[in-house]
Structure 1
Amino acid sequence: MITAKNITGLILAGGRAQRMGGIDKGLIPFHQKPLIESTISRLRPQVGSILINANRNITKYAVYSYPVILDETPDFSGPLAGFSVGLKACKTIPTNHTL
């Protein structure tokens, strides 16, 4: 069985937010706090570690004390670019599991 400590959660916050007028979605207020805070609080009990993929406002995301990783390409390649760097930065490896 895979336990929570063997799972890394990846928050994708690296987009340009073109449909949101360029406002960084993770920093938009949701219930009087930035959306990323709600995401972290829901994700934290389910995983052993968290990574944040962001390409803007790096210092604002770094305040949450989780590693902030940037896409390898500077052209905002989309969510697959975030998944790619997330997989490379992931340190958790499930052991003794069956598919």
Structure 2
Amino acid sequence: MKIAVITDIHGNAPALKAVLTELDNRQNIEQIYCLGDMIGIGPDTNEVLSTLFARQDISMVTGNHDEAVLALLTGEVYPQSHSHAKEHHQWIEERMD
């Protein structure tokens, strides 16, 4: 079984689509593992999440930026280690579908 590992997409939908196209063109990748930081930094949060969740061959774990935005969404304690990025994470949270 051949697998692929992707990580640190950080809200960059064009890059994600390019990588997925390359993996699909190989026609021998059975499973893709996404190791977190799907969102944060880039502006394409909704498109990235939609693309990832639409596929049946991708398993995901959350990364530190994903966890920080989730904390804002759920009212949990925001991680102090990301206090420098809180304003940006709030911007992402406000625009999430």
Normalising by structure 2, what TM-score?
A: 0.40
The structure whose residues are more often helix, as a share, is 2
Higher relative contact order (CA 8 A, sep 6+): 1
